[in-house]
């Protein structure tokens, strides 16, 4: 399970918000990779997750991204604990 802190005003960077014009929420990119990269090597998935995290301006660690890539590769659920900051 991963953990990230996101400011309340930047939640649309992590989760899709139809009221927001922000076009690169991480949730969307993760879901797309999960749908298309199951069974692919973790080393192939990590750079794609890094690109998505960078586009969403989220500070996931390398270990977080590797964990997420492992979940995508294996098809396992991934739980992310989000701490919303003021």
Q: What is the pLDDT of residue 16?
A: 85
Q: What is the pLDDT of residue 54?
A: 95
Q: What is the pLDDT of residue 46?
A: 98
- Tens digit of each residue's pLDDT (9 = 90 or more) over 32-59: 999 999 999 999 999 999 999 999 999 9
How is the chain split among helix, strand and coil, in percent rounded to 5?
Answer: 50, 15, 35
Domain boundaries in the chain? Answer: 2-85
β-bridge pairing 80-85 and 2-7:
parallel
Mean pLDDT of 64-83: 96
Mean pLDDT of 53-75: 95
Q: What is the pLDDT of residue 5?
A: 93
Give the CA-trace dihedral at 4, 15, 48, 7, to 10 degrees: -40
């Amino acid at each position: 399970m991963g953990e990230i802190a996101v400011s309340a005003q930047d939640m649309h960077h992590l989760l899709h918000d139809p009221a927001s014009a922000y076009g690169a929420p991480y949730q969307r990119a993760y879901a797309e990779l999960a749908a298309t990269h199951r069974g692919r090597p973790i080393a192939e998935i990590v750079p794609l997750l890094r690109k998505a995290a960078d586009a969403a301006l989220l500070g996931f660690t390398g270990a977080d991204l590797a964990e997420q890539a492992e979940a995508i590769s294996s098809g396992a659920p991934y739980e992310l604990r989000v701490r919303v900051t003021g």
